[in-house]
Structure 1
């Protein structure tokens, strides 16, 4: 009896696949099934962990581009392909919304955060952050690392706090404006700036720095991370992904990094 060798091969592959617990001839996931996320740089540690859990649960892959919210918003405006945008402030989400680039009914406020003063871990001493505190004296001849104060959300929050506390004019000339809050954090971690203003979640992610003071919440606008699906998204899984990030399953990944959950 002649037995088709291709048939035997298919039987063998199917048997092996069954033993491994996978589908022998399942079609590979299409690009549309994957989710591309543009997310504020300060989200990296928490969102990477949440995305790993999402992929494990759904077998849907995510690709994330992390950068300053301002840079991401401009890329979206320029037509960069993405499904989801998570901004570190309301202003840059508003900017994208005004361009009609987010889907109606998908926007919500996901997370909250705090801004803190950090120093290199070896030189960290507590600082009483209050009206008129001598930040310029602390910085001395060095630099104060911050996100760019005209565009990066953490930089804008930091400037607002320093203005409210009456110390901005004394340190304005000492500011080293970075392209993102994570870039500002690196300046302090490497000892290139003695102090920096970053989110408390960033400080928790870098063992090279220590929080020496926390800015009063009433010294700056509320720190809110909005999320939305972009109008150009073709992913059938984008809505489910948003629901996952807003679920109790994902909440622990954010709270472990110091974020607060907004619902």
Structure 2
């Protein structure tokens, strides 16, 4: 019960905010729905872009799956940044994004993390013994049926032959930052998160990096929503690809997929 309560609390907490209700625009302010793993970098980019855009965006962070559903239900978002291509396609197939605005913006890696004081060591390779690392504890990861980080993590573990040995020990969280917190607080012995999440949390250390060929490419696409009416949205999208934004994204560990404008 304690673990379930913590998962819910972290998922709804400030650092990785899951939306309880659609965000409201304030005086025409741009509203951005962004994957939870972008928080540190995008907060900095938002500040840097304010002079060019003319305003700071209001950003709501959560799992890409939750955000896409919110937009489908009519939440007033101008921009959607997903942590995978699937949830962007989900909205574009329903004609809820402007096709000519969609760009593959960023890339990332998934890593295996443990609490900062852990003595665990592991080489992530075919047949590695992840169950031994976890022991009687839990493996924290995003909901592997919906949250991109969870989907990437499950695919990697299946590819490496480790999924069946840990499936019963998985603590699924509503977003990747919630999974990260479970590891940082010692509620889980290990977790699968993005490299950028590990960089942002001093309470964890990376004990293994998943080979890129073990899971689908990690791509963060961005698009303007079909219902967006804010005149400054194109300027915000352009600034996301500016040199100053690119440097901030790289500083947090993201790779750049779109040409700098």
Partner of 2:235: 240
Secondary structure of the 2:187 match is coil
Q: CA deviation at 1:32?
A: 5.9
Q: 2:173 aligns with which of 154, 170, 178?
A: 178
Partner of 2:135: 140
Q: Is the alpha carbon distance of 1:33 and 1:124 closer, same or farther for their aligned partners in structure 2, counting shifts above 3 Å?
A: farther
Secondary structure of the 1:201 match is helix
**Which of 53-62 and 236-245 deviates more?**
53-62
- Measured against aligned partners, the alpha-carbon deviations of 1:150-185 in whole angstroms (never above 9, x if no partner) come to 000000000000000001001000000000000000
Secondary structure of the 1:123 match is coil
Q: CA deviation at 1:248?
A: 1.2
Distance 2:111 2:52 in 1: 35
Partner of 1:158: 153
- TM-score (norm. length: structure 2): 0.87
Q: CA deviation at 1:244?
A: 0.6
Partner of 2:6: none
Distance 2:192 2:247 in 1: 25
Partner of 2:106: 111
Partner of 2:39: 44
- Measured against aligned partners, the alpha-carbon deviations of 1:206-233 in whole angstroms (never above 9, x if no partner) come to 1000011100000000000000000110
Cα contact 1:124–1:210 (8 A) shared by 2: no
Q: 2:191 aligns with which of 184, 196, 205?
A: 196
For the pair shown, the structure with the greater C-alpha radius of gyration is 1
Partner of 2:56: 61
Partner of 1:34: 29
1:74 matches 2:69: yes
Secondary structure of the 1:128 match is coil
Q: CA deviation at 1:249?
A: 1.5
Partner of 1:86: 81
Partner of 1:27: none
Gaps of 5+ in 2: 1-24
Distance 2:51 2:208 in 1: 38
Cα contact 1:32–1:235 (8 A) shared by 2: no
- TM-score (norm. length: structure 1): 0.87
